[in-house]
Structure formats: C-alpha cells, structure tokens
Amino acid sequence: MARDHVGRWRVAITGMGVKSPAGCDLKSFTEAVRSARPTAALVTGFDTTGLPSRIGCQIQDFDPNTYASAKMRRRMSRFAQMGLAAALDAYVDAGSPSIDPLRAGISSGSCFGGTQVCHETSLVISQRGPQFVSPFTASMHMANSPAAYIGPELGWHGPSVTTTTACATGTDAINAGTRMIREGEADAVLAGAVDTDGVGILMLAAFGQTGALSSRNDDPGQASRPFDADRDGYVMGEGAAYLMLERYELAAARGARIYGEIAGCGRTSDSHHITAPHPEGRWVVECMRAAIRDADLTPAAITQVNCHATATPVGDAAEARALLTVFNGAPPPVTASKGVFGHAVGAAGAVEAIVAVLSARDGLVPPTGGFDRLSDDCAGLDVVAGAPRRVDSGPVVSNSFGVGGQNASVVIVPPEMP
C-alpha cells in the first residue's frame, strides 16, 4: 500500500549517517552500542579545573577533510562540519538517489548551534577588539548552518527547516521530515540533528552548575548509569545523525534498500517547570500514546522502547512512571543508549533513532551501558543489560524529552517482509 491508514504517504528509511563517540560509521557504531561499551572519559582540549563535572563523551575519529574543502571548512563551525558529514553519509548510504531538487527537503536540528563560536568570539572582542571578529561568525553560529551547507552540496531546493527543542530536537526533526513526506511537500528528506558544543567549556560549566551532570570524575566509564540505583546525573556528549527518508513506494520502485519505516509521531509539552519534568510523566504518557496511535498500533504491539533516560534521578523516575502507565504496568524490554555515548542533547534523539531503526529491523534490544542494579523508583521496568536480547522484529518506540518540557516520540517499524 502506498498510503497509511489515514491516507498519508508512507515514509521509508533508506539511508543513515552517524558521527558519535561510539563510532563515525554505522558498523563501528552498531558494534559499540550492542557491546554496551561506555565512551565517557576526562574531557580534553581545555582546562577543566573547577568544573563540577570534568567528563564527557567526545568524538575521537571524525575527519572533516573527506566532506569539505579547506576553504569551506574555514567558514564552518565544527557542528556544521559534523552535520554535513552525517547527512552526506546518509545520502550515500541510500544509494545517492536522483531526486527532483524541488521535491528534496532538509529537516535539521540543533540545540546549541555554534555556541562555542560565540564564546570564542567574545574572547576575541575582549582581548583584541571587535575589529578582529571574523565575518563568518554569524553564519558559523546559526542553528541552521548545517542545513545551509547540506542543500547547496546536493543542489536541493525543496523545503529546509531547522528545529530546536532542547533535548527533543533530534526526534522532532525526524518527525518534521516525516510530515513533509506524508503531506506531499517532498518526496525525500534528510532528517536529523547535530550538537557538538555540549562538551565545550561554556556548556559543561553551565550544565555543571545546575547539578544535572554526573560528578564521577574519578571513574568516567561508570558515570552514565540510566535507571541505575547509583545514577547521579548525565554525561555530556556530542554527535550527529541523519536519516534519508523517502516516499515508500518511490523508494521501493527504485529498488532501494529499506531499513524500516517511520510509522508514528508524537509531541507534547509538560508546561510544568523550566528544567524539571512532570514528576509522574503525565504529558510524556500522552506523547507516547500519540505516537503509537498515529502509527495505528496499540501498546501491546510495541516490542521494545529506546528510552530518553539521561541518568538523572528525577528524569529517569518520571520516564519509568510514564512507561508503566502507557503499558499498563508491564512495559516491553527497554534500553537506554546514553549509557554508551552520553547525552548528545539536540542530536540525542537522532542518534538514538538509528539505534531504534536497527533494533526494529534485527529484533534485537541493545544492552544499557552503565546499568547494574534497578533503582527502586524505576521498579517495574525490564531494563536490558549485559548482552543484547532477542525479541520479535516489530515496532519500536524511541523517546526524547527536552529541558523546558519538550516531549517527542517516534514509532519505527521494520521493513515489510517479502
């Protein structure tokens, strides 16, 4: 069938690109996630003395030279370089399809954008004067900078939007790209997000002062502990991930390899507190229900959940309560990828969507890194740990919840069986 249960165009996932602390290609990324290898370490590159949290999950092997010329790189911030790279990888992974440029769109996202550029520019102004500010400062800082490079690189002229909804950004950007195709605005969309400045000194200091970050500076590898009884906060990370989305029947007609399908999208707002989630996860419940309903499924059909689970005491407990409510006290197996590659903030939902796509396709729940013992306030959850677990290949829910009460969920289903 070309259309879904309410007559919208179906949305296939035909390509994926990722840059993360767990790997900068799909193979190494998948191996790291499924072996639950934590990537947190002491932050390098600047003096962390005096910071409450001096650890982070940093990307070690990203080489921008493959994706942009030296002249182009000088005009780009690191987050734009990484976003462009992940998006181009997704396009190539999809087979570099030939698409009508007016029917090809971009749905990108970032929480921090080029925050580090602003920080460094402020130092230039204070130390040398405003006349030494780079003329590329504004474009390097803008949140839509990655999209502004992706479009010209591919020669696309369809819709291009940039989303910023804190830690829900990545999932929201994928859902926005899905809507472009569903509603007939585009035939193909590169959808995803990027954030790299969470492990810069400005954001590491700012979030550290809120008390939200893990202070296990002497044992970084055990710092990110989703749902664990000894969790004490999240570990800042960085990353980029984009999915190549296409109208399902057009992808099938060209013989594309289809990883899966975006079947349902949900979004709500807590409107509760600027940083704390609603303690019972009330609006998270409605978000997940909306996504499952949008996919024309029931909770009983969901085979696993890729949780937002940042490893904060309050956030994980709220998500656990929401899961228990949505699934009538018996949620399916859950996993939390941030135990491996930390919290990539705006990029988190996009990176985790790749985990969910592969999990749905392969019928495999990855183990949760850093998890040893279930916390009492998360009782009732079946947290997969130690080794991957086989389940039926079927629909997966992936959750993202952002500071300010931004909630986003997506339902991903495996490709059609022949």
Kindly list the catalytic residues.
Answer: 167, 308, 343
Q: Which residues contact 394 (CB under 8 A, 6 or more apart)?
A: 301, 302, 303, 360, 363, 413, 414
Q: Give the separation between CA 291 and CA 349, rounded to whole angstroms.
A: 15
* Pair 360, 184: CB distance under 8 Å: no
Residue with tokens 């904060």: 312
CA 417 to chain centre: 27
Interatomic CA distance for residues 241 and 346, integer angstroms: 10
- Residue 239: strand pairing partners: 195
Q: In whole angstroms, what is the distance from residue 344 CA to residue 259 CA?
A: 23
Which pairing describes strands 260-269 and 41-42: parallel, antiparallel, or unpaired? unpaired
Identify the burial level of 389 via C-beta atoms within 10 angstroms of its C-beta, where 0-12 means exposed, 13-18 middle and 19 or more buried. middle
Collapsing DSSP states into helix, strand and coil, what is residue 254?
Answer: coil
Residue type, 373: R
CA atoms of 118 and 76, how far apart (whole Å): 13
Relative to beta strand 104-109, strand 188-195 is parallel
Residue 71: its H or E element? helix 70-74
To the nearest 10°, the Cα dihedral for 264, 82, 94, 69? Answer: 150
Angle at 297 between CA 324 and CA 176, to 5 degrees: 95
Alpha-carbon gap, residue 305 to 337, rounded angstroms: 11
